[in-house]
Amino acid sequence: MKINIYYGGRGIIDDPTLFVIGKLMQVFDELNVKVEKFNLYELKNTITTLPSSINDADGIILATTVEWYGVGGYMQQFLDSCWLYGNKEKFEDTYMCPIVMATVPGEREAMTNLTIAWELLGGLVCNGLCGYVEDLVSFELNQDYLNIIEKKAENIYRAISQKLKSLPASNKAVNKISNVTRNIPLTPQESEQLSKYASDESYVQKQKEDIEELASLFRDKMEHIGVDENSLYIADFRERFNASAAVNGVYKFMIKDKKKPLIIEIKDASLNCYYGNYDDPEVLCKINDDVLNRIVAGQMSFQRAFMSGDMQVKGDFKRLRMLDQIFDFSESES
């Protein structure tokens, strides 16, 4: 049997959680259990790769210390990485025991949070151990406390070795029903690279610049192979035009990276769309092609784009509100 211990504290000398972990490891050694301890504060730059270490463990212990509030950043990072990169199928067969010692109030809430988190990840939970330690020396010398810790180690061993069953938890049921996330198919090496690059702001900025340059090159290539940029969106607006909408006016769409604005002229239930210029439109809209693509695909309305700031507008706002009635793209959803 193998048990992994993930310690989320800061590693300070008088941390009571370290004392409890040490006693647990002594008992596990007597029971011939292989134990591997991971100090998250030492592995903070590679936390995204750590969920893969659970794959060869029969059970895990999530141990942390409440010093002012909650489970702490390192443990939360580790749980986030389990959610994003962990093997959820393996978690379903892995027992977890939460260990939380505190030097301030809040140990029970923190232990409950660890329990709920592991259940949401789909894992199995053993009864945890938590306690408030005001004086570490008196805590270490208290034989009753030592007996409780040793008994807990034996119970963890028994629960994992015998694969003790428990009643269903609603957290796991809700997680299966909602299925809000899927495993990201990354190798540990790719995850490690991700953790390094994601924290490097200069690298992220360089990637954005490279993407923009590639997008510009792609647009140029499209023009060279015969794609007429001046025909984009015109067919979409004509197809979804509602002639019964009682409105007259000119809409001017300034589309990012397009050489000419898109002009929408509506007069007496007739529509005229073209790329050109119009000096004094009733409504001037500034928008990028990604947002406009979402609108014509029925994924977003003009009003929502305006309210979210994805489209800037000047002019007659009454005519702006009419746009979603004049051009009903919602029917294009499939």
pLDDT at 175 over 70: no
Q: Looking at residue 230, what is its pLDDT?
A: 67
Domains of the chain: 2-178 (3.40.50.360), 232-332 (3.30.1050.10)
Q: Looking at residue 222, what is its pLDDT?
A: 54
Dist CA 255 CA 291 (whole Å): 10
pLDDT at 214 over 90: no
Q: Looking at residue 104, what is its pLDDT?
A: 92
Strands 59-66 and 2-7: parallel
pLDDT at 226 over 70: no
101 close to 130: Cβ distance less than 8 angstroms: yes
pLDDT tens digits, 181-203: 455 555 555 655 665 555 566 66
Query: What's the pTM?
Result: 0.55
pLDDT at 166 over 70: yes
**What's the token pair of residue 256?**
């990012």
pLDDT tens digits, 70-111: 888 899 999 999 999 899 889 999 999 999 999 999 999 999
Q: Looking at residue 27, what is its pLDDT?
A: 94
DSSP for 178-247, written as a single string: H---------HHHHHHHHHHHT-HHHHHHHHHHHHHHHHHHHHHHHHTT--GGGTTHHHHHHTB-TTS--
The proportion of the chain whose per-residue pLDDT surpasses 90, expressed as a percent, equals 50
Q: Looking at residue 256, what is its pLDDT?
A: 86
pLDDT tens digits, 241-262: 988 877 889 999 999 888 889 9
Q: Looking at residue 307, what is its pLDDT?
A: 87
